[in-house]
Amino acid sequence: MRENGNICCNDKKERVKRVEKNQICAICGKKGQGVLEATVKNLIKDEFKYKIKEKVYYLCMDKNCEVAYYDVYGEYIKANELKVPLWFKDGANPKYICYCNYVTEEDIVDAVVNKGAKDIKEVAEITGAMKNGNCKMNNPLGKCCGPLIKEIIKRELELKKK
């Protein structure tokens, strides 16, 4: 039987494969969501830009974990190394939902509770959310904030009914 060669290297490859497959955060062990390099580059503070080496990152969605993005090698960028707070992390302030127009969860709740908005169109009109969106660059997930806004509207309308 042939020898396998360098064991350290194989170990590293195995580890990378495991992270790629499961997308697990190196710190909290929870599954993250894939985000492209361009998004991370746009959101990281200038002094930490040197940390970006990969094409694909994962966003750690755990509210208590200090990690924002991590790569398959287990290298990571902390939430406080970004220019904006991540809305789902504990203590996020301000809690932006639409990162293109800096509309917060508070603004959306206010539109629904105090200004009578009933759907995403009305919320967008009142708050300015989703206008001229460049979500791929500005939203920490690299995706449109619309689904999240809808969730908040739904939650607030339910609360209003009670």
The residue from 37, 54, 62, 75 that contacts Zn ion (CB under 5 A) is: 62
Nearest approach, Cβ of 28 to Zn ion (angstroms)? 3
Q: Which residues, 6 or more positions from 108, have their beta carbon under 8 angstroms from its beta carbon?
A: 97, 123, 127, 129, 149, 152, 153, 156
Is 61 a binding residue for Zn ion by CB under 5 A? The answer is no
Q: Which of residues 63-92 bind Zn ion (CB under 5 A)?
A: 65, 67
Contact code string over 4-33 relative to Zn ion, x by CB under 5 A: ---------------------x-xx-----
Is 35 a binding residue for Zn ion by CB under 5 A? The answer is no
Beta carbon nearer to Zn ion, 54 or 122: 54
Cβ-in-10-Å burial (0-12, 13-18, 19+) of 42 comes to middle
Is 111 a binding residue for Zn ion by CB under 5 A? The answer is no
Cα torsion 26, 147, 151, 145: sign: positive
Interface ranges with Zn ion (CB under 5 A): 25, 27-28, 60, 62, 65, 67
